[in-house]
Amino acid sequence: MIAVVLVGGEGTRLRPLTLDEPKPVLPIGGVPFVSLLLDRLAAAGVTKVILSCGYLPDRLRAAVVSAPAGIEVEVVVEDEPLGTAGAIRFAAVGRVDGPFLALNGDVLGDADFGALVAAHHAAGAVASIGLTPVDDPTRFGVVVHDAQGNVERFVEKPPNADGLGPAPWWVNAGAYVLDPSVLDLIPADRMVSIEREIFPELVGRGLICVHSDGYWRDIGTLESFLTANADAVAGRVHTRLGGADAAILVDGSARVDADAVLIAPVLIAAGAVVGAGARVGPDTVIGEGATVGPNATVQGSVLLAGAQVAADAHVERSAIGRNALVGERAHVLDSALGTDQAASAGEHLTGERRPA
């Protein structure tokens, strides 16, 4: 089985974290998200992954050099964004010769892709969409369908829930099985959205959907990125991290002062340092080589590799980018600092997103 994974987006909703790293390279529990996705594809029996890149492809290339055994990864780069369908076409033509998986590269989950593939074959479908239930349909592609899974309407990002039936709404989970004939429906050399142009055209022509269970989260906003990290550490999603509700995961090379307090679920990655009197957790990841100074508190947050939180600082529901600095006594709430950015000593930030 071949999988095309869409990773070309700029991750605008995650800026400034994505100013110099594409979204799929951002860490979940200290591991690049794309590596967790490759784990899952390997488990589903996928042998070849085509990464459909546009934005910062070299960072993606570097992140996938150590793919799981049995998976070959090919990186395909668009000169300019082709949209979700255009990108699938560009990546798949000449590389697939049968039904293939196509995935949004920003969804953390643990549902079995094999079940979607099996349903596709059992129905003799042209295209099959995995679905997940949500409470807010406006951020997703809503898939109205009958009891047999035949798609009746596909509505991308409806302005409201009018006419879409009662909650919960079943939406496109960003995982498809496509027959190669779908590629012929996608115009070449222009931007084409599979959600807005191709799926609506396939309604009544072999487009089916399958409810998938298990954990599901699009990591594309700051809030969901933080929640995904917490869920991975807490084991609410099954990953290689082996998380659990009561997890206090401390790498052997991290140094945690005997007078620091760690509150589960929490993960302290390789080479990280936590000083005396610091309180770290719950729902927190301290990335590789990051430091938390004496008496600082970090909760509901993610420190990326090399980030520093100085003494007496407070970080809550925030992401602190690579080698970024939170100065002494600073308070950072609901904010994101990008690579090398800083909050000065004593500064208070709430809901801050610096453009650069």
Interacting residues with ligand GDD (CB under 6 A): 6-9, 52, 54, 78, 81-84, 87, 104-107, 140-141, 156, 171-172, 174, 195, 218, 220
Q: Tell me how far, at minimum, the Cβ of 74 lies from ligand GDD, in Å.
A: 13
Q: Which is nearer to ligand GDD, 143 or 343 (CB)?
A: 143
User: What's the CA gap between 340 and 356, in Å, rounded?
Assistant: 10
Helix (H, G, I), strand (E, B) or coil at 72: strand
Residues recorded for the chain: 356
User: What b/e readout covers 67-106, taking b as 16+ CB neighbours within 10 angstroms?
Assistant: bbeebebebbbbeeebbbbbbbbbbbeeebeebbbbbbbb
Q: Tell me how far, at minimum, the Cβ of 297 lies from ligand GDD, in Å.
A: 32
Q: Tell me how far, at minimum, the Cβ of 194 lies from ligand GDD, in Å.
A: 7
State how far Cα 280 lies from the chain centre.
Answer: 24
Give the 3-state secondary structure percentages of the chain, helix then strand then coil, rounded to 5. Answer: 20, 30, 45
Q: Which is nearer to Mg ion, 107 or 274 (CB)?
A: 107
- Choosing among Mg ion, ligand GDD, none, which partner's interface includes residue 352 (Cβ < 5 to 8 Å by kind)? none
User: What's the CA gap between 62 and 235, in Å, rounded?
Assistant: 27
- Choosing among ligand GDD, Mg ion, none, which partner's interface includes residue 301 (Cβ < 5 to 8 Å by kind)? none
- Choosing among ligand GDD, Mg ion, none, which partner's interface includes residue 74 (Cβ < 5 to 8 Å by kind)? none
Q: Which is nearer to ligand GDD, 172 or 341 (CB)?
A: 172
- Choosing among Mg ion, ligand GDD, none, which partner's interface includes residue 284 (Cβ < 5 to 8 Å by kind)? none
| Residue ranges binding Mg ion (CB under 5 A) | 106, 218, 220
Cβ(275)–Cβ(293) below 8 Å: yes
Q: Which is nearer to ligand GDD, 195 or 283 (CB)?
A: 195
- Choosing among ligand GDD, Mg ion, none, which partner's interface includes residue 9 (Cβ < 5 to 8 Å by kind)? ligand GDD
Q: What is the enclosing helix (H) or strand (E) of 349?
A: strand 348-350
Q: Tell me how far, at minimum, the Cβ of 213 lies from ligand GDD, in Å.
A: 16
User: What's the CA gap between 243 and 237, in Å, rounded?
Assistant: 8
Q: Which is nearer to ligand GDD, 54 or 281 (CB)?
A: 54
The beta strands (E) that lie in 17-115 are given as: 27-28, 31-32, 48-53, 72-77, 100-104, 107-109
Q: Which is nearer to Mg ion, 78 or 251 (CB)?
A: 78
Q: Tell me how far, at minimum, the Cβ of 33 lies from ligand GDD, in Å.
A: 10
- Choosing among Mg ion, ligand GDD, none, which partner's interface includes residue 81 (Cβ < 5 to 8 Å by kind)? ligand GDD
User: What's the CA gap between 324 and 339, in Å, rounded?
Assistant: 5
Q: Tell me how far, at minimum, the Cβ of 1 lies from ligand GDD, in Å.
A: 19
Q: Tell me how far, at minimum, the Cβ of 25 lies from Mg ion, in Å.
A: 15
Q: Which is nearer to ligand GDD, 156 or 328 (CB)?
A: 156
- DSSP-derived letter for residue 195 is I
Q: Residue 10's CB: how many other CB atoms inside 10 A?
A: 15
Q: Residue 3: which of 147, 107, 159 has the closest Cα?
A: 107
Q: Tell me how far, at minimum, the Cβ of 87 lies from ligand GDD, in Å.
A: 3
Q: Which is nearer to ligand GDD, 91 or 305 (CB)?
A: 91
- Choosing among ligand GDD, Mg ion, none, which partner's interface includes residue 177 (Cβ < 5 to 8 Å by kind)? none
